């Protein structure tokens, strides 16, 4: 079964637009966690950024306490975040790049350029019983580098696929690229997740990519929730993901 991890960052983004600097406000990410889980999602993804632009420290600890499924903690590879992860003890950590100027994560991690640093982080987190994945572009060099770090999972950055979806030629090319590296990752013993830019129109196209375990989807689900409610938005996405032919 292809699992769904719901990224709730943009619930906090909406709150911060009105309540930045306040001790509370709406909507509440922890309420969102409860609704997402009740609708059948397999896990929650949340990114505690260094600049705390959406998810705050109090949110991540509240999520950890309320969670009934599993927490995928997105974070930069910094001493501060490693320390938080070791105390938080999420089921999984996804290491991602961060750029203070970006609205959302715009590209994959350059694993090949920092193999030793990422290997050290992966070893520290792995020894604490935390599953580690690396958010990377569908690039064979980055797949090889990930295997060299000892990280057990990758999360394929599907942004180029999502952005090129309306162009049949670009869509086909990106799916071919994603499928090729997914097979490469599988051959190296890596588990494969995917996410970024996936929505209610393009998610079923990802069925062309083999060996996927989990999709992490956030903005589209939170956006859909404005009109149909969060629980219904999650259920609709789960329905779209049914029948993935190569799930493992």
| Residue 247: inside a domain | no
CATH number at 25 reads 3.20.20.70
| Residue 14: inside a domain | yes
Token readout for 215 is 């999709």
Query: Known catalytic residue: 102?
Result: no
Tokens 């999972």 belong to residue: 153
How crowded is the C-beta side of 16, counted as CA atoms within 13 Å? 13
Query: Known catalytic residue: 196?
Result: yes
| Residue 248: inside a domain | no
| Residue 67: inside a domain | yes
| Residue 32: inside a domain | yes
Residues of the chain with pLDDT under 70: 99-106, 246-248
Alpha-carbon distance of 155 to 95, in angstroms, equals 9
User: 116-138 burial by CB neighbour count: b if 16+ within 10 A, else e?
Assistant: eebbebbeebeeeebbbbbbbbb
> Contact 170/164 with Cβ under 8 angstroms?
yes
What confidence score (pLDDT) does residue 104 get? Answer: 53
| Residue 72: inside a domain | yes
| Residue 245: inside a domain | no
- Which of 10, 37, 54, 74 is labelled catalytic? 74
Q: What is the pLDDT of residues 47-86, one digit of tens each?
A: 999 999 999 999 999 999 999 999 999 999 999 999 999 9
Total structural domains within the chain: 1
- Which of 10, 47, 54, 157 is labelled catalytic? 47
- Which of 10, 42, 157, 196 is labelled catalytic? 196
**Domain span holding position 109:** 3-240
Query: Known catalytic residue: 211?
Result: no
Token readout for 39 is 């609708």
Alpha-carbon distance of 188 to 87, in angstroms, equals 31
Residue 44 in 3-state DSSP? Answer: strand
Residue 171 to residues 31, 153, 204, 221, Cα–Cα distance (Å): 36, 25, 12, 22
Q: What is the pLDDT of residues 109-132, one digit of tens each?
A: 999 999 999 999 999 999 999 999
């Amino acid at each position: 079964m292809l699992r769904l991890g719901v990224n709730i960052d943009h619930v906090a983004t909406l709150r911060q637009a009105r309540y930045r600097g306040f001790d509370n406000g709406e909507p509440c990410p922890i309420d969102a966690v409860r609704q997402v889980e009740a609708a059948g999602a397999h896990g929650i993804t949340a990114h505690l950024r260094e600049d705390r632009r959406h998810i705050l420290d109090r949110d991540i600890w509240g999520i950890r306490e309320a969670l009934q499924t599993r927490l995928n903690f997105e974070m930069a590879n910094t001493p501060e975040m490693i320390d938080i992860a070791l105390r938080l003890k999420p089921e999984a950590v996804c290491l991602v790049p961060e750029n203070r100027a970006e609205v959302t994560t715009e590209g994959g991690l350059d694993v090949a350029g920092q193999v030793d640093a990422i290997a050290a982080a992966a070893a520290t987190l792995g020894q604490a019983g935390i599953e580690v994945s690396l958010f990377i572009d569908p690039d064979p060099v980055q797949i090889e580098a990930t295997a060299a770090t000892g990280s057990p999972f990758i999360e394929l950055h599907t942004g180029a696929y999502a952005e090129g979806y309306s162009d049949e030629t670009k869509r086909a090319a990106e799916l071919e690229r994603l499928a090729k590296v997914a097979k490469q990752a599988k051959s190296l013993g890596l588990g494969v997740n995917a996410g970024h830019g996936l929505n209610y129109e393009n998610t079923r196209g990802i069925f062309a990519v083999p060996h996927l375990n989990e999709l992490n989807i956030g903005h589209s689900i939170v956006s859909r929730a404005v009109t149909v409610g969060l629980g219904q938005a999650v259920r609709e996405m789960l329905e779209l993901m049914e029948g993935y032919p190569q799930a493992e």
